A and B are shown apart, each in its own frame.
Chain A
Amino acid sequence: MEFILAIAIGILFASGIWLILRPRSFQVIIGLMLLSYATNLFIFITGKLAIDQPAFTGTSDAVEMAQFTDPLPQALVLTAIVIGFATTALYLVVLLGSRGLTGTDHVDGKEREVTHE
């Protein structure tokens, strides 16, 4: 399972990096979203993968720590998702503003001059 997750994260990162290097702001925002998904998955697996293990115990009895999954990365991912969502929304507003003001969706705010020969 680690292998599949590692491959998935790798593909997300690769696609994200390729997209943020593209000239259109829409591609860049999709790239940023893929990067943040990849990062969230990455944070999640730092708590080690475990199946069918609860993060919390309902009893106050002494418990074996190995039976539980690490709840902290899950909390971190939750926070990261919220913050990533907010900043993506903000970026979207600026993207639309830039499109409206400059008349192009190029990240430089102007089209590259193409010379036809």
Chain B
Amino acid sequence: MSELGHILTFPILIPLVVGAVLILINERYHRLKFAVNMLSTLSLLVVSIVLLLITEQHTEVTSQVVYLAANWQAPFGIVLVADRLSAIMLVLTAVVANGALLFSFSRWAQVGVHFHTLFQLLLMGIHGALLTGDIFNLFVFFEIMLAASYGLLLHGYNVVRVRAGLQYITINLIASVFFLIGIALIYAAAGSLNLADIAALISTLDDSSRFLFHTGAAVLAVAFLTKSAMWPLGFWLPNAYIAAAPPVTALLVVLTKIGIYVVLRLYLLFFGDHAGASAGFGTGLLLYGGLLTMAYGIIGLIASQESNRIASYSAIVSSGTLLALIGMNNPAVLSSMLFYLISSTLAVAAFALLSELISRIYPTRNQVLAITFEAFEVDETHDVSSGYVIPAAMAFLGLSGMACALIIAGLPPLSGFVAKFAMLHQLLQAETITLAAWMFLILIISAGLGSIITFVRFGIRSFWASHRETPPLLKLTEVAPIIVILMVCVGLVVFAGPIFELLERTMSEASNTPMYIERVLGQPATGGNA
């Protein structure tokens, strides 16, 4: 292991330390707290990009950077592994996190206590889940992530949030029980908790152990599919998204995608071609579950009137699409799947932030919020008078709303179109197009139609039919993150060629499980072996 390996601990240690330090700073100094948090989150963006560059520098097939915690060799100690896939997810998380944090500056960070600490701990959990190479460690990081998300969901305590929080926490605690049972069964079958080690052992399992292993994997899948909101496990999602504060909703969008990432990672490691008799286990379930989720999401989307609800059903449609693509067991679609994941996460997160700004067109609907602000003595008028208000607010809202709609619906010229076009292209290139692929094609096009209907109706009601004389007051810190996130989406289109090449490399590397096993288990401990 070179010195480079230590950089893998930064995405976990920075938020841990900063989160702890932030507790010590009194809530009165909210600008200081915000500055510390922003500094940390920006440094995490830098670390993620550096990590991506490091994994890119390895010109050979493998690019994994392996970190042996406490210098114990792989199956015995806990390892952190970064490859291109986890590095890309880290960068995506960092972009959304920076946007959400900046957005929260003007009011949301002040409607409750310890927002910044919980924010950092959530990032720690996400990063740990992305980097760990050990299945029990994955559980621990998931719990950190979820515990922080419970706190953030309840941030700005009101009746709606507590009601939604109670259900969200219950669902996730039950999912955690499934998670543990799954891990226990896998350990009973394979006798290891290291992902690479388990992946290496799968093809050697005897029949009774294999049965146990499959049971364990299926139980584990219940936990992750609950998090990634597959029908019928995803009914918690709209309530949680709607109740949460907008910056928190943007982070929940990322959280849902972490569920997808884990499904993808474990699927590739456990049930790829190397797995012998286990190869392809559960693909049908993922495929048809994904298709049903898409159908459910489309129906929910068309029925949605409020912007929050539109955002949550868009997230469900996107989860369904991703799960169905994983379930197709077709390596060719994986790179466009990843492109779709990035583009839809950014668009839904941007729309979640934007929806709160749009709702300011109707001030009377925000009564509950006003009470929260009063309770925490957030002085709104002070900030407004200090000159950060942007001009042409309505034009901004309209244009960015349209941009989000175009990406989510997958219309040209933005990144959603590129993603969908790539998927359709890959699927139609196959020699025989299966029934499932046809169903997927129909659903993905209906999803586009459904989103367009919903967004057009929403746009007409918000922007054309609102009888309001003065446009809402928007602050620069609220507008900037949305513009940045949408510009990243534009960047995805402009540099679509190089990005697709990167994603091709990413997925061919992530699918190459024997190489992963060799890299992780072959990583020597440093120093003298006494």
Contact = CB atoms under 8 A, between A and B. Distances in A.
A42 B179 CA distance: 12
B136 A87 contact: no
Contacts of A39: 177, 180-181, 184
A33 B13 CA distance: 31
Interface of A: 20, 25, 28, 32, 35-36, 39, 42-43, 46, 72-73, 76, 79-80, 83, 86-88, 90-91, 94-95, 97-98, 101-102, 107-109
A32 B172 CA distance: 11
Contacts of A80: 180
A76 B182 CA distance: 13
B166 A95 contact: yes
A107 B147 CA distance: 20
B184 A42 contact: yes
B174 A76 contact: no
Contact of A107 (B136, B166, B187, B193): B166
A90 B174 contact: no
B370 interface: no
Contact of B174 (A32, A98, A107): A32
Contact of B159 (A46, A83, A95, A109): A109
B159 A102 contact: yes
Interface string B163-204: 101110110011011001101110110000100000000000
B150 interface: yes
B140 to A, nearest CB: 7
B136 A109 contact: no
B154 interface: yes
B136 A79 contact: yes
Interface of B: 136, 140, 143, 146-147, 150-151, 154, 157-159, 162-163, 165-167, 169-170, 173-174, 176-177, 180-181, 183-185, 187-188, 193
Contacts of B143: 83, 87
B267 to A, nearest CB: 23
A73 to B, nearest CB: 7
22 contacts: A28-B170, A32-B173, A35-B177, A39-B180, A39-B184, A43-B184, A73-B184, A76-B187, A80-B180, A83-B143, A83-B176, A87-B147, A90-B147, A90-B150, A91-B170, A94-B162, A97-B157, A98-B163, A101-B157, A102-B162, A107-B170, A109-B163
Contacts of B163: 98, 102, 108-109
Secondary structure at chain B's binding surface: helix, strand, loop or mixed?
Answer: helix
A72 B157 CA distance: 40
Contacts of B183: 43, 76
Given A28-B170, A72-B193, A73-B184, A94 B136 contact: no
Given A39-B181, A46-B188, A95-B166, 7 more contacts: A32-B174, A32-B177, A83-B140, A87-B173, A91-B169, A94-B169, A101-B159
Given A87-B143, A107-B166, A109-B162, A94 B174 contact: no
A79 B180 CA distance: 11
Q: Which of B151, B157, B177 has its CB near the most chain A CB atoms (within 10 A)?
A: B177
Contacts of A101: 157-159, 162
B180 A94 contact: no
Q: Top 10 A-B pairs ranked by shortest CB distance? A: A109-B163, A46-B188, A43-B184, A46-B184, A98-B162, A39-B180, A83-B143, A101-B159, A35-B177, A98-B166
Contacts of B136: 76, 79
A20 B174 contact: yes
B177 A90 contact: no
Nearest to B165: A94
A90 B168 CA distance: 12
B166 A109 contact: yes
Contacts of A102: 159, 162-163
Contacts of B177: 32, 35-36, 39
A76 B140 CA distance: 10
Contacts of B159: 101-102, 109
A38 to B, nearest CB: 8
A72 B162 contact: no
B194 to A, nearest CB: 11
A20 B147 contact: no
A46 B147 CA distance: 27
B162 A35 contact: no
A44 B158 CA distance: 40
Nearest to B150: A90
Contacts of A95: 166
* Of listed B136, B163, B173, residue having the most chain A CB within 10 A: B173
